Amino acid sequence: MTINNLDAVLSNEMEAYSHPWSKGIFLDCLQSGYHCNVLYTQEKAVGHSVLMTVVDEAHLLNITIAPCFQGQGLGCYLLDVLIEHAKHLNATTMFLEVRESNHTAIALYQRAGFNEVGIRKNYYPLAKGRENAVLMALPLTSGG
C-alpha cells in the first residue's frame, strides 16, 4: 500500500464497512511503518490489510475484501499471507479484534487456527450505540 493506491483502498473500505477507517488512519499506518498490503486481481484493488508488529507480537489491525469479491477465498488467501509474514518477522502470537456480529469473519479466523481469548466491551461504533469485539489469538510457534 502506498499513497498512490490509497483512493482504491478507501473505496473498498467505505464499501465494506458502516464505520470505515479514514484516509488519515491509513496515512498514519503507512508513516508508522506498519505492514500495509493491497491485494490485486486483474489489476484491480480488491482487498487490503494492515499488520502491526511489536517485539514478538503481530496485531492484525485491518483486513478487508471488497464486498463484490467476498466469498471467493481472497480473505483466506490474504490472511494466510499475513500469518506467514508475521512468522517471518519472528512473531510468536498474532492478535486481532472482530465485531461480535461478524460471524463470517469469526469463522474464517477459527478455520485459520485463531481462538477467542477475550471480549472488548463496546469496542466498535454502531449507528446507535456500540458493539463488543471478540479478541482472538493465533499461536505462531511450531508448537501452535
Binding residue positions: 102
Catalytic, out of 13, 34, 109, 124: 109
Provide the pairing of β-strand 130-139 with 93-99: antiparallel
Residues annotated within a binding site for acetyl-CoA:
102
Q: Catalytic residue at 109?
A: yes
Catalytic, out of 13, 34, 97, 124: 97
Beta strands in 1-144 (DSSP E): 35-41, 44-54, 57-65, 93-99, 115-125, 130-139
Contacts with 42 (C-beta within 8 Å, 6 or more apart), sequence order:
none
Would you name the residues annotated as active-site residues? 97, 109
